[in-house]
Structure 1
Amino acid sequence: MIERQLSQELQHAAAQIRLIEDYPEDGVLFRDITPVLADGPALAAVVADLAAHCPEFDVVAGIEARGFILAGALGVHTQCGALSVRKAGKLPAPAAAASYSLEYGEATVEVQQDIKPGARVLILDDVLATGGTADAARRVIEAIGGEVVGFGMLCEVAGLGGREKLGDLPIHVVFP
């Protein structure tokens, strides 16, 4: 993980992250970014940081649920489109699905065919842990013809192998 100096605005945003022990199950330290999303200057700082440090993209894909908000905000900031990567059974016309393991269970994500083949896609989520969710998102984006150009995350849980699971694609973590 790369150490970097955070601007005053990003330090303010980082201070908003709430740590919740034993959620959603015992032994998990949950990083709740919803206070960052609720604070306009904090959200603006995070979005500007993602825009400045992520590779060029045509569409930003947000992973359910906090990733949706980040993707929408970054999409507006960069004037590109946003795509939802949803939990199974939430979309009216799923075109691709991928199952994965995460630190406390199993899940499946789906997407609709809402992008043009060859679109450059940046995948966003709140936390990179084991990398299972982000890897599944990559697989469904590729299954509908998107080219994943990288990942943007607010936080990272070190030591769980998330980066390794995502291979050589660029990964920008706002709060390393």
Structure 2
Amino acid sequence: MSGPSSNLPSDLSSSVQTRSAPAHDDEVVSRRQPASSAAAATELTSAKVKLRGHLRQFSDFPVPGIEFVDIMPLFASPDAHATLVAALEMQIAQTFKNDMPDVIVGLDARGFLFGPGLALRLGIGFAAVRKQGKLPGPCVTAEYIKEYGKDMFQMQQDAIKEGQKVLIVDDIIATGGSAKAAADLVAQLKGQVMGYMFILEISGLNGRDKLGSEPTTILLDEFP
């Protein structure tokens, strides 16, 4: 059976090592091999250029005056999808060095497109933040403000263990309200938010200002 790197683009697969299946399910299946800082930075830059080539822009969507960036082509191509997850992993290593998260928390809904795959690649768990009423069992709840009113996010009470380090991910940061609500949920569960990661940022909305002092990383921070 081929290892986790078998579906990676050839220019990225060299940086991943695999090993035989561990004796315990909670052991990490694969880890990136150490690489020099210069080589890792070059590899990440190359991946970002490739990913930007798959993005599309639509004018006046969803309302006039808005330039909408469509990330869905990243998932239509297996090669682009694999590159995205590999680039996110490299970005995490660059940002946090050896201080890796215990859990990836993904936001409803597009954080679900890549959050579980990223968590699997890192050998850690994934926890979902969903709209109120979508999760069974005991949940914690946090409110956030949207452009047209208030909404509620929830997480299951057993999604995160006390003291676990959490990285919150979503496709785009705009006002920062939904990511802040996710952080509030993690705090209620006594987890530790170590940072935030997004594919894109809508400039001019100052979303990062809501997220405190933890690192906020934008994968494709220069688009177009």
The answer to whether TM tops 0.5 is: yes
> Deviation of residue 44 (structure 1)?
2.1
- Alignment partner of 1:37 is 2:82: no
Q: Which residue of structure 2 aligns with residue 8 of structure 1?
A: 46
> Whole-Å Cα distance in 1 between the matches of residues 152 and 180 of structure 2?
11
Indicate which of 93, 105, 111 corresponds to 2:137. Answer: 93
> Deviation of residue 76 (structure 1)?
1.0
> Whole-Å Cα distance in 2 between the matches of residues 97 and 28 of structure 1?
31
Post-superposition Cα deviations, 1:146-172, rounded to whole Å, max 9, x if no partner, equal 111101100001110111111111011
Counting aligned pairs with the same residue, the percent is 38
> Whole-Å Cα distance in 1 between the matches of residues 58 and 183 of structure 2?
28
Q: Which residue of structure 2 aligns with residue 48 of structure 1?
A: 86
Please list, as runs of the form range in 1=range in 2, the aligned pairs for 1:11-160 lying within 5 A after superposition.
11-54=49-92, 55=96, 56-113=100-157, 114-160=159-205
The amino acid that maps onto 1:67 is G
Q: Contact conserved, 1:102 with 1:132, CA < 8 A, in 2?
A: yes
Q: Contact conserved, 2:47 with 2:87, CA < 8 A, in 1?
A: no
> Whole-Å Cα distance in 2 between the matches of residues 104 and 31 of structure 1?
21
Q: TM-score, normalised to structure 1's length?
A: 0.88
The amino acid that maps onto 2:167 is L
> Whole-Å Cα distance in 2 between the matches of residues 145 and 42 of structure 1?
36
> Deviation of residue 22 (structure 1)?
4.1
Paired residues in the alignment total 173
The 1:25/1:93 distance shift into structure 2, 3 A limit, reads farther
Uncovered stretches (5+) of structure 1, i.e. residues with no partner: none
> Deviation of residue 49 (structure 1)?
2.3
SS at match of 1:90: coil
After superposing the two structures, state which structure 1 stretch, 141-150 or 100-109, moved more.
100-109
SS at match of 2:219: strand
SS at match of 1:153: strand
> Deviation of residue 27 (structure 1)?
4.3
Q: TM-score, normalised to structure 2's length?
A: 0.70
Kindly indicate whether structure 1 or structure 2 has the higher relative contact order, using CA contacts under 8 Å at least 6 residues apart. 1
Q: Which residue of structure 2 aligns with residue 162 of structure 1?
A: 207
SS at match of 1:175: coil
The 1:40/1:94 distance shift into structure 2, 3 A limit, reads farther
Uncovered stretches (5+) of structure 2, i.e. residues with no partner: 1-40
